[in-house]
Amino acid sequence: MASHVRYNQLDSLRGIAALTVVAEHCMNTLGKAPVKNWFAHFSPLHVLISGHQAVILFFLLSGFVLSLPYYQGRIYTYTEFITKRVFRLYIPYIIALAFGLMMRVIFVHHSIDGLWGGHIGPKIILQELFMLDQFNQNYVDPVVWSLVQEMRISLIFPLLILFLSRYRWKTVIVTGFAVSCIGIYVHLLFRSHVNVFTNYPDTLHYIIIFIMGAVLAKHKDTLVAYLRRTPKTAKWSLGITALLLYTYTQSLLSQHWALGLGLTGRLMSDWITALSASVFILLAISEPGVKRALSVRPLVFIGKISFSIYLFHLIILLSLISLFPHLHVLDVAGTFLLTIGLATAGYYYVERPSIRIGKIVVQRL
């Protein structure tokens, strides 16, 4: 049986993506409109605030990493798989919700840029606690929508692997693409009723991203071998093209005056974002220079705590804005520093113990 391979450079990639989510939320919440528009449409630094693209990268990495054990001969039962996912995702999620609720009660008594608004009643708490229905994610910890989507897709992920093991990758991709198109169509058809990020049509849409990650993992050796035979100039061109598509496709398809398709363009752009992010993953695991750059210890550490960075950063940002509404530099600096500190604690005292408990539970099943 093949041993389980861990790619630290992919942790670093996830960590960099998590920091871009933090940067985007700081820009969206604190940035003045002209500055935001310049970043969004003209600046080459737009990649630094490509938060939604980062979430697509998270989904792609999840599909890649979750499928690797299956291809390496480590077969889990459905119960074992779901148990591990619950302890990996749900326990930190609950801790973040509790922290977010506490901070909102203490610091905020009005909406901040549309976040932390509205009355929190028993229904809202139950919806968020148990990930029920299509709820508004902005009451406590607005980033949890992606965790809801990931948990839903985790429930069917073993079936996706089974499908991938029985059919050619082209058939799997076409099927996933069709499901994504159905999700987009239903979202557009009922957009007034599914105008929250936890909606079910988007769950259908995001399945293709996980499938792309799983297909990438299955054929990674072939693709890596091909890349290693590719001339450096071609690889540089491929990487730069992927970076440009990753950075600007969403803006071009959804907002640009000539190409802007609104919601349709935003959803369709996820396909190109995932394809571009696939290039990042392949370069990270195949190119020695990229691997070395992503294997430096600070980046690897940021990668390890990236899940907690993602969970806690917006709660900290909203709390600081409430405390210091006019000191934007302090709010941004404080968000990054406090998030790193809290995420470190979250990783060592919540994530790692939860993962260990999950393994113990799986062993006893």
pLDDT digits (tens, 9 = 90+) for 53-67: 999 999 999 999 999
Phi, psi of 279 (to 5 degrees): -65, -40
Cα 147 to the center of its chain, rounded Å: 8
Read off the DSSP letter of residue 132. Answer: -
| Helical ranges in 31-144 per DSSP H | 33-41, 51-71, 78-85, 91-107, 122-130
Residue (of 198, 105, 114) closest to 149 by Cα position: 198
pLDDT at position 31, please? 63
pLDDT at position 163, please? 94
Question: What are 203's two structure tokens?
Answer: 């769950």
pLDDT at position 28, please? 82
Alpha carbons 194 and 133: distance in angstroms, whole number: 11
* Core vs surface per residue 305-343: b (16+ CB within 10 A) or e: bbbbbbbbbbbbbbbbbbeeeeebeebbebbbebbbebb
Q: How many residues appear in the chain?
A: 365
Note every long-range contact of 159-162, with CB atoms under 8 Å and residues 24 or more positions apart, other chains counting: 160/207, 160/210, 160/211, 160/214, 161/67, 161/70, 161/214
Other residues' Cβ atoms within 10 Å of the Cβ of residue 237: 12
Q: How far is CA 227 from CA 11, 237, 279, 282, 283, in A?
A: 21, 12, 10, 8, 8
Q: Which residues are CB-neighbours of 245 under 8 A, at least 6 positions away? A: 272, 273, 275, 276
Q: Which residue has the tokens 């985790």?
A: 154
Three-state DSSP class for residue 115? strand
List the chain residues with pLDDT less than 70.
Answer: 1-5, 30-42, 109, 256-260
Report pLDDT digits (tens) over 306-356: 999 999 999 999 999 998 888 888 889 999 999 999 999 999 999 999 999
Alpha carbons 46 and 7: distance in angstroms, whole number: 27
Other residues' Cβ atoms within 10 Å of the Cβ of residue 144: 25
